[in-house]
Amino acid sequence: MSGLQGTAALLALIRLRMRGRLRRLRANLKRPKTLLLALLGLGFVALIVIAQAHNDHDPARDELIASFPRVPLLSFFLTAFMVTTVIGGVRQGVMAFTPAEVHFLLPGPIGSRALILAHLINASLKVVFSALLFAALLTPGNTPWARALLGYSMIFLVLVALGLVVDLAHAKLSSAARKRRAKWIGVGLLGVAALVAALRLWLLPHDALAALAPLGWPAWPFVQLILGDDPQQIALGAALAVGALLALLSCAFGMPADVREAARGTSEVVQRKLKQMGKGQWMRDRPDAGQQRRSALRMLPTLGGAGPHLWRQLITLSRTRRGLAMLLWMTSVILGTMLFTARDTLPVEAITAMGVLMPMFMGSMFLQCDFRGDYESLAWMRSLPCSPTALAAGQLIAGTLVIFALQLVFMVWALFNVDAAARPWVAGAVPMLPALVLLQLCVENGAYLLSPHAMPGSNGQPPGAGQLLRFYGLSLVKMLTLVAALVPPGLAGALVGYWSEQPALGLIVGGAVLWLETALAVGLVGRIYLRVDPSVDLTSD
Amino acid sequence: MIEVEGLEKRFDEVLAVGGVSLRVDAGEILGLVGINGAGKTTLLRMLAGILGVGAGSIRIAGHPMNPDAVEARRQLAFVPDTPMLFDTLTVNEHLLFIAELYRVADPEPRIEALLAEFELSDKRHSVASALSRGMRQKLAICCAFLHEPAALLLDEPLTGLDPPGRRSMCEAIAARARDGAAVLVSSHQLEIVERVSTRFAILHRGQLRATGTLDEIRATLGEQVDGANLEELFLHATTHDAIADPRADPSEAADA
């Protein structure tokens, strides 16, 4: 492997691109819509920071946090995140270059180590953003921010280094061998983790956390950096984290691999994926060229045009295994952790509420079998003999059905666990859930159609500040819209229940208003879709 | 000078390029033609050092091309079929970056001259994302010419250009060859390839079907192509399947 020739040019490129991004940000901020979204985004970030600062002085919350098994919980959560990152394919982005970099850098007079260094510098910008976000969202009130930032930065740097090693190693394998190896490594790791957990449970049958702890061992050193109390443990955690990082980096820099071949291969995969993401299909499965597929699902009745669209989206959904897998994985990790640790402290109603809301928010994010996955077909869809409301209904119902099915599992669980007096309420809430999910999907799709956008970072570069602020701003707008939409049914139900002194009647009226409002929202999304300009190139966002 | 000996590349089980040997001398323009999926882009990418070589060897201006060859790359310029530019950088910044990358001493006069030659002077401070397809192509070519490479690899260099643009591009390529560069041009526009090139190579199913001047290719392909132009020779060479298909799955993926 050659040396660091070309490093000066790469640094010059980074400087020029930073300047270019600032120029673009300034230009974008002159547009009122972007400025408004950026201001809302800033407000969102400010809210989080203020909430964090306020919590620093909340003794009751600190006491509650102190009583929680924070180290094993955070270890487990971060390990799950690391596994998700690797399985989710984010790893493949580490060795990827943008098309322009492939054009100019790979044929250029640049040493292989300089190319790896360029990746590290680029990735370090992403690391800073991610660490800041995690430190803001996942830091208990009494933990110093600097330590949290350091701990999260170390996690992401190790992930980057791991990605470099894996990508370089992959360059030497055929695609079939890669799949085989990945499968066996995955099965092996899961087997070891399950065995250790089972052994711990057998030895310590009354301590459920003891079983959870070994599942989180990969993140333990980093969690010690963030949350540790014992100086010796912190020092050990820091040493292990730095050691792991250095070992992985020396492996990446010393590996006798064709860096250009690895970068080219990874870049092609990532660019294809990013193109999908830019079109709003970031969870869609990789298209397997030439693979024949048949669907057993028979065509649905026309229903004014809704039927064929629903049929099409259901078929798409059946081929979005990645999205479904991510939805199930994330939901089970978060809810599983909660059930495992807080079963005795949290009321059943709270767990049920989480079990209902979590799939709704996760599902609307991961299952994009609606307008978000059809951005390129909008112009064609307008030419179809179908009313916009029926079309919108067909587009949105497929995702609703899947999410509702997941929610139903929790509702059934709740029926068996709540008091007998609360059971009719749980059963009465079930018919409202599809309306709630459909409303959430209406908000997501309406926002997407009004402001088509790619995910931050989907152009292959670390997300710019403007892009992130816009994303946060849009998230805040969506959240406020959903909350505002829930006020009328809530209010109607409460008032009717109060005046009639029949809470059951309030529930029925509230549900009816929710369904009515959802139907109106579906119609509104249909109207919005007619206004979209499909010529906006999302990939250049 | 570009020297290629016994070049081979497989994608898993599929042979994309098999046993290609060719040579482009300084001052020569070699026109590389072939149907979709023939392996042209794969061959060019290997020559540019982007794609690893399965077997065989490449030398650029006497320097061996391998994954870590910096000196060979310094003598080379590659323009892909679709110009990929840094969208946030201006025209001028692209050229400054290339000057830094290839260590061009005192680049300003050359930048001025290239921008004037390709009629981009008034776009000097425009960001790449604001350029039209043709202007992007011109900028990519300017970047390739800036360090005065000994070997030029151009994949469909005329795509997106209007007729005057094509003409001036052909003249610019010929001028570089006259200045001593070895040029390899791959294109489907056979009449332009015929006009600008001094020698030709017909690639079919990953193998060279014929190489040489038009007369030499006519001689290789037999009496029935006497007096044929490049297009007729190309059609004859690629439709008369004189060579067996060595590939298990002749897909277009290799040339995509």
Q: Which residue in B has a C-alpha nearest to residue A6's C-alpha? A: B101
Mutate to test the interface with A, among B10, B14, B88 (most CBs of A within 10 A): B88
Nearest to A111 among B70, B83, B101 (CB): B70
Residues of chain A with C-beta less than 8 angstroms from the C-beta of B80: 103
Q: Lowest-confidence range among A60-64, A379-383, B195-199?
A: A60-64
pLDDT at A482: 93
- Per the DSSP assignment, residues forming a β-bridge with B185 are B31, B154
Which has the closest alpha carbon to A227: A145, A158, A149, A143?
Answer: A143
pLDDT above 70 as % of chain A: 72
Average pLDDT, integer, range A292-299: 71
pLDDT tens for B23-66 read: 999 999 999 988 888 888 889 989 988 888 888 999 999 899 88
> What pLDDT digit, counting tens, does each position of A1-52 carry?
456 777 888 888 888 888 888 888 788 778 777 777 777 777 777 776 676 6
Would you kindly state where each structural domain of chain A is located, as residue ranges?
7-12+69-278, 303-540
Joined together, the tokens standing for residue A232 give 């010796």
Looking at residue B89, its pLDDT comes to: 86
**Least confident range of A117-126, A351-360, B43-52:** A117-126
Task: Work out whether strand B63-64 and strand B55-60 pair parallel, antiparallel, or are unpaired.
Answer: antiparallel
Task: Read off the DSSP letter of residue A140.
Answer: -
* DSSP assignment string, chain B: -EEEEEEEEEETTEEEEEEEEEEE-TT-EEEEE--TTSSHHHHHHHHTTSS--SEEEEEETTEEP-TT-HHHHHTEEEE-SS----TTSBHHHHHHHHHHHTT-SS-HHHHHHHHHHTT-GGGTTSBGGGS-HHHHHHHHHHHHHHT--SEEEEESTTTT--HHHHHHHHHHHHHHHHTT-EEEEE-S-HHHHHHH-SEEEEEETTEEEEEESHHHHHHHH-GGGTT--HHHHHHHHHHS--S----SS--SGGG-
Q: Which of B68, B74, B78 to mutate to test the interface with A (most CBs of A within 10 A)?
A: B68
DSSP track, B8-72: EEEETTEEEEEEEEEEE-TT-EEEEE--TTSSHHHHHHHHTTSS--SEEEEEETTEEP-TT-HHH
d(CA A282, CA A27): 27
List CB contacts of A20: < 8 A, sequence separation 6 or more. B86, B87, B88, B89, B90, B93, B127
The CA distance from B216 to the nearest CA of chain A, in Å, is 32
Q: Is the pLDDT of residue B223 over 90?
A: no
- ipTM higher than the 0.90 cut: no
B150 phi/psi in degrees, rounded to 5: -80, -25
> Which residue from A minimizes the CA distance to B92?
A16
Residues in chain B: 256
Q: Choose among A239, A206, A207: nearest CA to A224.
A: A239
Contacts of B9 in chain A (CB under 8 A): none
Identify the CA nearest to A493 among candidates A511, A508, A512, A506: A506
A258 interfacial to chain B (CB closer than 8 Å): yes
Select the more confidently predicted residue: A77 or A268. A268
CB under 8 Å to A191, separation ≥6 — which residues?
none
B125 in reach of chain A (CB within 8 A): no
Q: Which of A452, A491, A457, A507 is nearest to A474 (CA)?
A: A452
Instruction: Give residue B205's region: left, alpha or beta (phi > 0; psi -120 to 50).
Output: left
CB neighbourhood size of B109 (10 A): 8
By C-alpha distance, which of A283, A286, A292, A262 is closest to A272?
A: A286
In chain B the domains, ranked by start, together with CATH numbers, are 2-255 (3.40.50.300)
Q: Which tokens is A276 given?
A: 């999908």
DSSP letter, residue A458: T
Residues of B in contact with A23 (CB under 8 A): 88, 127
A104 vs B: CB within 8 A: yes
* Mutation for A interface: B11, B12, B50, most A CBs within 10 A: B50
Task: Provide the 3-class DSSP secondary structure of residue A208.
Answer: helix
CB of B31 closer than 8 Å to CB of B176: no
Residue A74 near residue A223 (C-beta atoms within 8 A): yes
For residue A521, what pLDDT is reported?
Answer: 96
Q: Do B70 and A104 touch (CB under 8 A)?
A: no
Query: How does pLDDT run across B157-167, given as a tens digit for each residue?
Result: 888 888 888 88
Using a CB–CB cutoff of 8 Å, tell me whether A540 touches chain B.
Answer: yes
Query: What is the Rg, in whole angstroms, of the alpha carbon atoms belonging to chain A?
Result: 25
Are the Cβ atoms of A264 and B51 closer than 8 angstroms? yes
Q: Does B87 touch chain A (CB under 8 A)?
A: yes
Q: Who among A8, A260, A540 is closest to B129 (CB)?
A: A540
Q: Does residue B135 or residue A373 have the better pLDDT?
A: B135
- Over residues B166-216, the pLDDT tens digits come to 888 899 999 999 999 999 999 888 888 888 899 999 888 888 888 888 888
- At A176 the pLDDT is 63
Residue in A closest to B14 by C-alpha: A174
pLDDT at residue A440, as a whole number:
95
Q: Mind telling me how many Å the CA of A170 is from chain B's nearest CA?
A: 13
Q: How confident is the model at residue A55 (pLDDT cuts 50, 70, 90)?
A: low
Both tokens of A166, joined, read 């894996």
Nearest to B41, CA basis, from B237, B253, B208: B253
| Amino acid (1-letter code) at residue A311 | W
Cβ pair A104:B96 closer than 8 A: no
Does any CB of chain B come closer than 8 Å to the CB of residue A259?
Answer: yes
In contact, A214 and A200? CB cutoff 8 Å: yes
φ/ψ of A155, rounded to 5, equals -60, -50
Q: What is the 3-state secondary structure (H, E, C) of A317-346?
A: HHCCHHHHHHHHHHHHHHHHHHHHHHCCCC
Whole-number Å distance between alpha carbons of A437 and A521: 12
Size of interface A-B (CB pairs under 8 A): 105
The first and second tokens of residue A187, run together, are 């099965």
A104/B143 CB distance under 8 A: yes
Supply the pLDDT for residue A159.
Answer: 81
Residues of B in contact with A8 (CB under 8 A): 100
The reply to whether residue B97 touches residue A16, judged by beta carbons under 8 angstroms, is: yes
What local confidence, expressed as pLDDT, does residue A358 receive? 85
Write the pLDDT tens digit of every residue in A459-489: 444 455 566 667 777 888 888 999 999 999 9
Contact B86 A259 (CB under 8 A): no
* Helices A388-417 & A321-342 angle (0-180, nearest 10): 30
How far apart CA A223 and CA A70 sit, in angstroms, is 9
Distances A493 to A56, A411, A435, A498, B190 between C-alpha atoms, Å: 38, 21, 15, 8, 75
Q: How many degrees, rounded to 5, is the angle at CA A41 between CA A35 and CA A43?
A: 105
A533 or B255, which is more confident? Answer: A533
CB atoms within 10 A of CB B36: 10
Distance CA B96, CA B111 (A): 8
Q: For all residues of chain A together, what is the average pLDDT? A: 77
CA distance A12 to chain B (A): 7
Give the pLDDT score at A384.
77
